[in-house]
Amino acid sequence: MTGDGRKAQLTPVVAAAQQVAGIVAARGRGDAAGARELMLGFEDERQMAGGALLVAELSLGLLQRATGESLDDCVRDLCLEMETALRGA
């Protein structure tokens, strides 16, 4: 695949990831209406899932670099946080 082909393939995924990041930011500041509006902007679940996956991968990579832990350790810690959140709900 050429560089232009790869860019064309990645552009919508990056746009979806930016939209997902906007949802996370809106939720973080308590803006439920803004988060809901951004959620409605996705064409379908596949587009949202692709964006969310890219955000997760990049976020875990940033955490890995910041902590010096392995990616597996970062993922394990994330899973533990999710389990803890479920128990506290």
- Domain boundaries defined on the chain: 3-88
Query: What pLDDT score was predicted for residue 1?
Result: 66
* Percent of the chain scoring above 70 in pLDDT: 99
Task: Give the pLDDT of residue 35.
Answer: 98
pLDDT at 89: 75
CA 40 – CA 37 distance, rounded (Å)? 5
* pLDDT mean by block of 10 residues, the chain; 89 residues: 86 97 98 97 96 97 97 96 92
- Supply 77's token pair: 């810690």
Sign of CA dihedral 72, 76, 79, 85: negative
